[in-house]
Amino acid sequence: MSEELEGKVAIVTGGSRGIGKAIALQLGHDGAVVVVGARTEEGTEDKPGSIGETATAIEESGGKALPVKVDVTVDSDLEALVEKTMSEFGRIDILVNNAGALGGQPKFLESEPDELDFFYRTNLRAPYVLAKIVGVNMAEQGHGVIFNISSGLARLPDPPGSPGAAQPRFGGPSTVYGMTKAALNRFAAGVAAELQEKNIAIININPGFTLTERLARIMQGADTSRMERPETTAKAVAFLARDPMPYTGQMITARELADEKNL
């Protein structure tokens, strides 16, 4: 265990598995107290891991953690998450908006508007609302950093027929996934100047195509050597949390930062 983030208090949503779990473990390793937020209190074969397991792993490595059940699409849950953190620790220095929805109907003409509503509430509205609630507390204490886990799919694809255009495929995430992640990037860029005046940084992270537990099961037997690992994003977040303001308002690709800083 290191002490680079000693005394800091972090909230990580979606911390029961995948990238969120890796971030929570890394922040805990670096000395931060970690509030692990997610819906899963008991893991299953399809969805291994839980908030309790992540918190226990942090504590077994010498850190301190608090598991809190939260559904990020429910405003009262977000408010309760912040209230619990402030009641227990009196401050919030780091917020990682990691929880999100992936998948969906890849064929637009076969999709339903309800899907757009779900992705909007999970991938955009939830980070927006939680960032606002936490941001008020950060402004009062005079500092803080907010991370949003975005995606390379937020970028505009090349038009059909252009040299760089991808071939049509219907097995990946839906268009609304990329739409909400693009909006998340615009959100961070749009509020960065206002938050900077309060000494609060806001940074979006592109983790790349990452081999999570879910994908590992789906891709059994396939070559995954070129896929990113959750630990790469975790190391990038922990590094940026030490001195975040030079990166505020930016979209940072985890692999590029890891290579540049030899993380």
Say what percent of the chain tops pLDDT 90.
Answer: 76
Instruction: Report the alpha-carbon distance of residue 255 to residue 263 in Å, rounded.
Output: 9
Asked about 177 being catalytic, the answer comes back as yes
pLDDT at 166: 55
Q: What is the mean pLDDT of residues 121-125?
A: 98
Catalytic one of 120, 128, 177, 247? 177
Confidence tier at 62 by pLDDT (50, 70, 90):
very high
Q: Is the pLDDT of residue 68 over 70?
A: yes
Confidence tier at 104 by pLDDT (50, 70, 90):
confident
What's the CATH fold of domain 9-159+169-261? Rossmann fold (3.40.50)
In tens, the pLDDT along 201-223 reads 999 999 998 878 777 777 777 77
Confidence tier at 170 by pLDDT (50, 70, 90):
very low
Q: Where are the domains of the chain?
A: 9-159+169-261
In tens, the pLDDT along 72-99 reads 999 999 999 999 999 999 999 999 999 9
Average pLDDT, the chain: 92
Q: Is the pLDDT of residue 262 over 70?
A: yes
Q: Who contacts 22 (Cβ-Cβ below 8 Å, separation ≥6)?
A: 229, 230, 231, 233, 234
* Alpha-carbon distance values, 50 to 25, 30, 61, 74, 116 (Å): 13, 21, 17, 19, 27
Q: What is the mean pLDDT of residues 19-47?
A: 90
Q: What is the mean pLDDT of residues 43-65?
A: 89
- Most distant CA pair in the chain: distance in Å? 56
Q: Who contacts 167 (Cβ-Cβ below 8 Å, separation ≥6)?
A: none
Angle at 231 between CA 118 and CA 128, to 5 degrees: 30
User: Phi-psi bin for 90: left (phi > 0), alpha (psi -120 to 50), beta?
Assistant: left
